[in-house]
Amino acid sequence: MNGLSYAYLGDAVYELEVRAHLIGKGIFKIKNLHNGAVKFTSAKA
């Protein structure tokens, strides 16, 4: 597996952790989950 494949896989793991964190904070509405995840995973973040 090359470096880009590992980076792609790592991004997926990171996003899963972010989503689990948001749900753990009690955020359940899909729109709020999406907006919260974008704040953590966007290029600006």
**Positions marked active-site:** 11
Q: What is the DSSP letter of 43?
A: S
Burial of 14-45, coded b for 16+ CB within 10 Å and e otherwise, reads eeeebbeebeeeebeeeeeeeebbeeeeeeee
